[in-house]
Structure 1
Amino acid sequence: MNQPPLQARDFFIKACCFEASLILVAIVLGWMAGIDPFAKLFYSEAALLYGILGTLPMVLFFHWAERRQEDSFQKVRRLLLETLGPSLYRRHWADLFMLAAIAGLSEEILFRGVVQPWLEAAWGMRAALLGCNILFGLAHAVTPLYTLLAFLIGLYLSGAMDYGGTRNLLTPVLIHALYDFWAFAALVRAYKRERDGAGV
């Protein structure tokens, strides 16, 4: 843990740029498919409320997973601490929020704004739900368990998009961003505890 894999500033900038570039990918794919990636992203008080309240089950899920003692869960935790901890622990909470917001917006625009409706048009709703979130899981394939967890989270986000009977990307964008911010903050706290305990 003494040697960060990337300089903290370099990692943060690269992570923000990579996540933001997914919006360009979504625009290109949307153009190819005849889909406006932003068509279902609009403000509504209901979507805002669902997004905030919908984050709570995700946070509870995060803490449940964090407390699991099985090797596969511990491997994920260790991997995240060793790869993200050194790069994020010096960042201000506003930086963590910005990265989480960019990730939430870009990934939802890509997967639920373009990929899911594209697959729905070709295969129908159920197959598209599975196909979109298999791809979402594979995009987060750092370990087999993490891939599965990302798939399940993707299913939840897809369901949240249609909650209330009106499809609105704002709901999963908010859930994704707020969840990522919570996870980043928890990761930083855990890394600092380990670092301080080791006397680094």
Structure 2
Amino acid sequence: MPPPSTDGRPNFLTLAYAFEGGLVGVAYALGWIAGITPFSDFRFDGSAVSHGILGTLPLLLLFFWTYQLPHPELTKIRRFLLDSLAPQLAACRVHQLLALAALAGLGEEALFRGVLQPWAEAHWGWGAGLMLSNVLFGLLHCVTPLYGLLALFTGIYLGVMLDIGEERNLLTPMVVHGLYDFVAFWIVIQSYRAEQSQRNRR
């Protein structure tokens, strides 16, 4: 484990890596109980990567739009990101942000799209599987009620991306998730640095 530092970065990264990577272990544990292998629908395929890259664009456009809106609940989310998350992210190097985003895509997709969605589908059908797995996805991200709702719709989108292409491939939502998180991290960091710069000039 890295030693503590004054900026808190190693501890933040250690906890973040452990949490996101630990979701892979949770996925395998739940998959073992349910008789599902989390990565059974994972195949490295160029078209899946392409679908993932293109599929990230609508989510990023939504993020850009909501990030600028002056709605009070969206302002509360933005303030949370800038006050709680941005100082930790801003202390990270680019490769650390890439690793964190990739781990989030790997761990969360293995659990929610690799195990929970197919398990729920097997019991109640595709639509119910999509909804039930992503209600849980929204609850995991429920920093505020609106944030949880946005995460629910994001999860549904990722669940649909699972079936984009000729056959189901977990790689597609993993690419979408990881790339989206990395760009979102970068935008939040730039907003934080701009805000800090304005404060320092006063």
Which bracket does the TM-score occupy, shorter chain normalised? Answer: over 0.9
Q: Secondary structure of 1:36's match?
A: coil
Instruction: Specify the alignment match of 1:162 in structure 2.
Output: 163
Q: Secondary structure of 2:64's match?
A: helix
Instruction: Specify the alignment match of 1:141 in structure 2.
Output: 142
Q: Percent identity?
A: 47
Letter of the 2:185 counterpart: F
| Aligned mates of 1:102, 1:45 — CA distance in 2 | 20
| Aligned mates of 2:39, 2:157 — CA distance in 1 | 20
Instruction: Specify the alignment match of 2:194 in structure 1.
Output: 193
| Aligned mates of 2:147, 2:159 — CA distance in 1 | 18
Q: TM-score if structure 2 supplies the norm length?
A: 0.94
Instruction: Specify the alignment match of 1:152 in structure 2.
Output: 153
- 2:56 equivalent to 1:34: no
Q: Secondary structure of 1:24's match?
A: helix
Q: Secondary structure of 2:175's match?
A: helix
- 2:68 equivalent to 1:67: yes
Instruction: Specify the alignment match of 1:178 in structure 2.
Output: 179
Letter of the 1:84 counterpart: L
Comparing 80-89 with 171-180, greater Cα deviation is found at 80-89
Comparing 89-98 with 69-78, greater Cα deviation is found at 89-98
Q: Secondary structure of 1:115's match?
A: helix
Q: Could you tell me how far 1:144 is from its partner in structure 2?
A: 0.6
| Aligned mates of 2:86, 2:44 — CA distance in 1 | 34
Q: TM-score if structure 1 supplies the norm length?
A: 0.95
C-alpha RMSD over aligned residues: 1.1
Instruction: Specify the alignment match of 2:107 in structure 1.
Output: 106
Asked if 2 retains the 8 angstrom alpha-carbon contact of 1:30 and 1:114, the reply is yes
| Aligned mates of 2:16, 2:165 — CA distance in 1 | 33
Q: Could you tell me how far 1:122 is from its partner in structure 2?
A: 1.2
Instruction: Specify the alignment match of 2:24 in structure 1.
Output: 23
Q: Could you tell me how far 1:165 is from its partner in structure 2?
A: 3.5
User: Structure 1 unaligned runs (5+)?
Assistant: 1-5
| Aligned mates of 1:124, 1:52 — CA distance in 2 | 28
Comparing 49-58 with 174-183, greater Cα deviation is found at 49-58
Instruction: Specify the alignment match of 1:76 in structure 2.
Output: 77
Letter of the 2:144 counterpart: T
| Aligned mates of 1:187, 1:134 — CA distance in 2 | 25
Instruction: Specify the alignment match of 1:48 in structure 2.
Output: 49
CA deviation string 1:36-62 (max 9, x = no partner): 001001111110110111111111111
Asked if 2 retains the 8 angstrom alpha-carbon contact of 1:112 and 1:158, the reply is yes
| Aligned mates of 1:45, 1:101 — CA distance in 2 | 17
| Aligned mates of 2:98, 2:14 — CA distance in 1 | 14
| Aligned mates of 2:71, 2:54 — CA distance in 1 | 29
Q: Runs of at least 4 residues of structure 1 off by over 6 A?
A: none
CA deviation string 1:99-158 (max 9, x = no partner): 000001100000000000111111111111110111100010000110010001001101
- 2:88 equivalent to 1:87: yes
| Aligned mates of 1:158, 1:75 — CA distance in 2 | 27
Letter of the 2:34 counterpart: A
